[in-house]
């Protein structure tokens, strides 16, 4: 039976903080800040389009780092602890959230004031990308056996970031500049996307009641199932 979350999670904070992939997040954050500083570095040549593009790239860079947040080399041993997975994931998230907020504020401030896109809109976009990364990681753990899904999730996130602008229908107008009249409507869609991904993430954060696998359906004896460590 799961024990009450309070005192146990307080005990967990310190070891969890040690196991978080801080180096990854630091590397991604540093590159993200560098990308966000592009308009400032470009000087005269910068425009609003460059500013919003570099902020988007910066958000993707940070999210790539955050995709490794749920990586836990010791997952196969921690899976058996009485603390629920929601609590463990939630604690990791809670430890990273202030860092992410601080980092994003810094990235926004790096963009010159006159070029800065509306903060609310671009923050929704960044949050959606970050949540997509975390949901991807949670989903990989929910469905798979891997202890460290970060790399695959980062690949998925990168593919989405490259293919999204190329393949998303033009009428959705997700990747518009602030002077576009569709900016507000586009950010309603971003908010919707954020909520949908959040909901999916919340579902994936829980421990699966049973593993639904096609292979097992085909082979009830389970002999064709790969043995788990």
Partner 1 sequence: MTTTLDTPAVVAARPRASWAAVFALARFEARRLLLRMPVLVAFAVYLAWIVWRTRDSFGGFPALQDADRATQGGPLLVGLAVLLSANHAVLRSGRYGTDRHFAVLVLQPWRRTVAHLLSVVPVTLLATVCVAGQFTWEALKPGAVGHGSPAELLVGPLSVLLLGAFGVLLARLLAAPLAAPLLIVFLLLFSVFTSGFGGQGWSRWLMPVVGEGSSHTLPSDLLGRPAAWHALYLAGLALSAALLAVLLSGGARLRTVQAGVAGAVALTLVGAVGQSRDVPQETSEARTRVSVAPEKVQHCDERDGTTYCAFPEWTPRTGDWAEVVDGVRSLAGPGAQDRPLVVRQRVDARYGLDSDPLLAPSARPGEVTVGTAWGGNRIPEFATAVAGVLVTGKEEAVSGICDGRMVTVMWLALADLPDPMAGLRSVRLDDSDTGSAIVVSQTEPLRMSAAHTELVRELLQRPRNETAAQVRSNWAELTAPDVTTDRVAQMLGLDVPEPDEEEDECL
**How many CA atoms does the CB half-sphere of 114 hold within 13 Å?**
5
- Sequence-distant (≥ 6) Cβ neighbours of residue 5 within 8 angstroms: 83, 84, 87
d(CA 185, CA 188): 5
49-88: contacts with partner 1 (CB under 8 A)? 49-50, 53-54, 57, 60-61, 64-65, 68
What is the pattern of x (binds partner 1, CB under 8 A) and - over residues 164-183?
Answer: --xx----------------
**C-beta closer to partner 1: residue 159 or 185:** 159
d(CA 29, CA 132): 17
102-121: contacts with partner 1 (CB under 8 A)? none
Query: Which of 107, 157, 197, 205 forms a contact with partner 1 (CB under 8 A)?
Result: 157
- 42 interacts with partner 1 by CB under 8 A: yes
d(CA 131, CA 133): 5
111: left (phi over 0), alpha (psi -120 to 50) or beta: beta
**C-beta closer to partner 1: residue 7 or 226:** 226
- Which of 76-84, 103-111, 144-152, 193-201 is the region at the interface with partner 1 (rule: CB under 8 A)? 144-152
**70 neighbors 139 (Cβ within 8 angstroms):** no
Query: Which of 12, 111, 138, 161 forms a contact with partner 1 (CB under 8 A)?
Result: 161
**C-beta closer to partner 1: residue 61 or 87:** 61
- 40 interacts with partner 1 by CB under 8 A: no
């Amino acid at each position: 039976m799961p024990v009450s979350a309070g005192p146990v999670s307080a005990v967990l904070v310190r070891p969890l903080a040690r196991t978080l992939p801080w180096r990854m997040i630091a590397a991604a954050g540093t590159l993200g800040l560098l990308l966000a500083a592009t308009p400032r570095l470009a000087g005269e040549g910068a425009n609003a389009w460059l500013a919003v593009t570099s902020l988007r790239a910066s958000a993707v860079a940070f999210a790539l780092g955050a995709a490794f947040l749920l990586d836990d080399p010791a997952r196969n041993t921690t899976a058996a602890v009485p603390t629920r997975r929601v609590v463990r994931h939630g604690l990791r998230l809670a430890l990273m959230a202030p860092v992410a907020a601080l980092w994003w504020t810094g990235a926004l401030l790096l963009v010159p004031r006159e070029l800065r896109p509306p903060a609310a809109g671009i923050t929704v976009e960044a949050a959606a990308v970050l949540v997509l990364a975390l949901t991807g990681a949670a989903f990989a753990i929910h469905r798979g056996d891997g202890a460290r899904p970060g790399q695959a999730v980062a690949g998925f996130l990168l593919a989405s970031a490259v293919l999204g602008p190329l393949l998303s229908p033009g009428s959705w107008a997700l990747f518009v500049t602030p002077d576009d009249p569709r900016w507000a409507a586009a950010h309603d869609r971003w908010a919707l996307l954020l909520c949908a991904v959040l909901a999916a993430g919340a579902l994936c954060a829980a421990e699966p009641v049973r593993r639904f696998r096609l292979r097992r359906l085909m082979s009830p004896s389970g002999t064709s199932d790969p043995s788990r460590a």
